[in-house]
Amino acid sequence: MVTDKIAVVTGASRGIGREIAKTLAAKGATVIVNYNGSAAKAEEVVKEIEEAGGKAEAVQCNVSEFAKAGELMDYVVKKYGRVDILVNNAGITRDNLLMKMSEEDFDAVINTNLKGAFNCIKQISRQMLKQKSGRIVNISSVSGVMGNAGQVNYSASKAGVIGMTKAVARELASRGITCNAVAPGFIVTEMTDVLADSVKEAVTGQIPMKKFGETKDVANLVAFLASDEAAYITGQVICVDGGMAM
């Protein structure tokens, strides 16, 4: 259960993050819906949660900035007294073939996807150690498990998230804090909607289950890993990908 837990979900205004926020709220958590760009979309998520009887609040923060991530965590701890669950979901893509990829595109993806996760974990770890409890769930990707052409930056960032997950899990395990990674495959979101039909067909051919996943497939797993039922699971990477990376 996650009843009465305080959860911070980064990049929660759309896609997988949105579904994670709604699922945690539906299961009884108070959810901080973090967003960077779209206040309107974040408020939409909060409204949906509240209309369903849940509790949520939208808070703007660019998690790729270390000090800003600290301000976000300080705000939540000051207002709610604790942070029980941190879901590092904020992520961007700047896809291109290696030969055409700019240094700027590489750095931008690493800064948000990998450093953003580090910033948030680092800034809340002292509080979780004080609580002697906490659930950290990092959203990686099958691209970080098996690599993907045209995604050198993204694959590197998401593979980095996996390494960081395992190191953090080892460091914090004795204090009742778990850290796990979820690696989604191709999930139906705004990010995959823009793919050409020919690309979708080619990708579907590589998935044993022959279909894209739904955001709820990822959110349900995250909610489980964030719950008391997953107290003895840490340092794991679980793919939600229809068998793609096996």
Q: Which of 35, 75, 80, 154 is catalytic?
A: 154
Closest CA to 212 of 185, 193, 237: 185
Identity (one letter) of the amino acid at 137? V
Which of 83, 78, 62 minimizes the C-alpha distance to 7?
83
Residue 196's pLDDT band (boundaries 50, 70, 90)? confident
Q: Which residues contact 103 (CB under 8 A, 6 or more apart)?
A: none
Residue 180's nearest CA partner among 216, 128, 232, 246 is 232
Enter the pTM of the model. 0.97
The mean pLDDT value for 81-98 works out to: 97
pLDDT tens-digit readout, 21-57 = 999 999 999 999 999 999 999 999 999 999 999 999 9
Question: For residue 194, what pLDDT band results from cuts at 50, 70 and 90?
Answer: confident
**Token digits of residue 223:** 């909610």
pLDDT at 144: 98
75 catalytically annotated: no
Q: Residue 103: phi, psi to the nearest 5?
A: -60, -40
Q: What is the mean pLDDT of the chain?
A: 97
Does residue 4 register a pLDDT over 90?
A: yes
List pLDDT tens digits, range 158-190: 999 999 999 999 999 999 999 999 999 999 998
